[in-house]
């Protein structure tokens, strides 16, 4: 049984939308919510029902519209959001898509068209204006490029010597140069020298980006586990990666 929540501060809109969606028959439960105040009732129902589709008036979003969409998605990540709006600018519609919206259409849409929109979104499609297609393609291109660059950087970890990798791990754990020097029984000057070489090999510019690369490297879990076992610590005592990181340290300082 599919569940759909529709919400508006206008009773007539709710009635029209519900009538249009009755074409789904007994396989779908439609829960209509008349909003007369805040959005607490809507949030509670989203948590309780966990709808496949959440459709509501753009007017309900208020000034923090994008954040409202993000928060509703957090309550139930599986819910596909459709926003009904009289007229919104293309830039705002794009921002709503990035916030988690999956469909946008006019509040006075024809009943048979509304059922088509909901069905399409249920099946994983996007229902947005055609002019946003170019932006989607551009965004996918950027994401793909970032992923390729990131994976290429991960491959560069193999170029590190064992000493460099050990120091890189300690940077990822938040240790400063003095702590690293004491642990490795070397001078701080030598630590800085190693860090310079590490940054060059990985093509990163600071400790933050080095830590991000290490966080994605599946070797770090094994390395941390081995270090804890060797030091006699229990596995349950292990601190989360990055808990004590100080990212204000830049470069090799």
pLDDT at residue 247, as a whole number = 34
Other beta carbons within 10 angstroms of residue 170's beta carbon come to: 19
Question: Can you list the alpha helix ranges (DSSP code H) found in the chain?
Answer: 11-21, 40-49, 65-75, 90-99, 111-122, 133-156, 162-172, 177-184, 188-202, 207-216, 219-230
Flag the least confident range among 65-69, 186-190, 196-200, 236-240. 236-240
Sort strands 28-34 and 2-8 into parallel, antiparallel or unpaired: parallel
Average pLDDT, the chain: 80
Residue 20 has pLDDT above 70, yes or no: yes
Gap between the Cα atoms of 26 and 39, Å rounded: 28
How is residue 246 written in tokens?
A: 């100080």
pLDDT at residue 150, as a whole number = 63
Flag the least confident range among 45-54, 107-116, 203-212, 235-244. 235-244
Residue 21 has pLDDT above 60, yes or no: yes
- pLDDT tens digits along 126-185: 899 888 888 887 877 766 666 666 666 666 778 889 899 899 988 887 788 999 999 999
pLDDT at residue 93, as a whole number = 92
234 band by pLDDT with thresholds 50, 70 and 90:
very low
pLDDT at residue 240, as a whole number = 34
33 DSSP 8-state letter: E
77 band by pLDDT with thresholds 50, 70 and 90:
confident
Contacts of 51 (CB under 8 A, 6+ apart): 3, 4, 5, 31, 76, 79
pLDDT at residue 3, as a whole number = 92
- pLDDT tens digits along 22-58: 888 888 899 999 998 889 999 999 999 999 999 999 9
Contacts of 136 (CB under 8 A, 6+ apart): 97, 126
pLDDT at residue 136, as a whole number = 82
pLDDT at residue 185, as a whole number = 93
Entry pTM:
0.58
pLDDT at residue 236, as a whole number = 36
pLDDT at residue 74, as a whole number = 85
Q: How many Cα neighbours within 13 Å face the side chain of 55?
A: 31
């Amino acid at each position: 049984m599919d569940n759909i929540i529709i919400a508006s501060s206008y009773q007539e809109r709710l009635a029209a939308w519900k009538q249009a969606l009755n074409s789904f028959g007994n396989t779908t439960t439609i829960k209509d919510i008349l909003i007369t105040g805040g959005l607490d009732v809507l949030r509670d129902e989203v948590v309780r029902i966990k709808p496949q589709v959440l459709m509501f008036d753009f007017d309900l979003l208020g000034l923090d519209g994008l954040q409202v969409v993000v928060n509703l998605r957090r309550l139930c990540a599986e819910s596909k959001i459709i926003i009904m709006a009289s007229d919104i600018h293309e830039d705002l519609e794009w921002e709503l898509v990035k916030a988690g919206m999956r469909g946008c259409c006019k509040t006075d849409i024809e009943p048979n068209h509304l059922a088509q929109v909901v069905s399409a979104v249920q099946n994983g499609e996007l229902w947005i204006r055609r002019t946003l297609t170019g932006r989607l393609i551009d965004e996918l291109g950027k994401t793909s490029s970032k992923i390729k660059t990131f994976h290429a950087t991960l491959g560069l970890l193999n170029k590190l010597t064992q000493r460099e990798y050990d120091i890189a791990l300690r940077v990822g754990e938040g240790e400063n140069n003095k702590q690293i020097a004491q642990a490795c029984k070397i001078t701080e000057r030598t630590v800085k020298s190693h860090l310079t070489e590490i940054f060059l090999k990985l093509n990163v510019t600071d400790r933050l980006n080095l830590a991000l690369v290490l966080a994605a490297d599946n070797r770090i879990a094994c390395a941390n586990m081995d270090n804890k076992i060797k030091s006699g610590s229990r596995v349950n005592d292990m601190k989360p990666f990055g808990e004590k990181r100080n990212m204000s340290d830049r470069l090799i300082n």
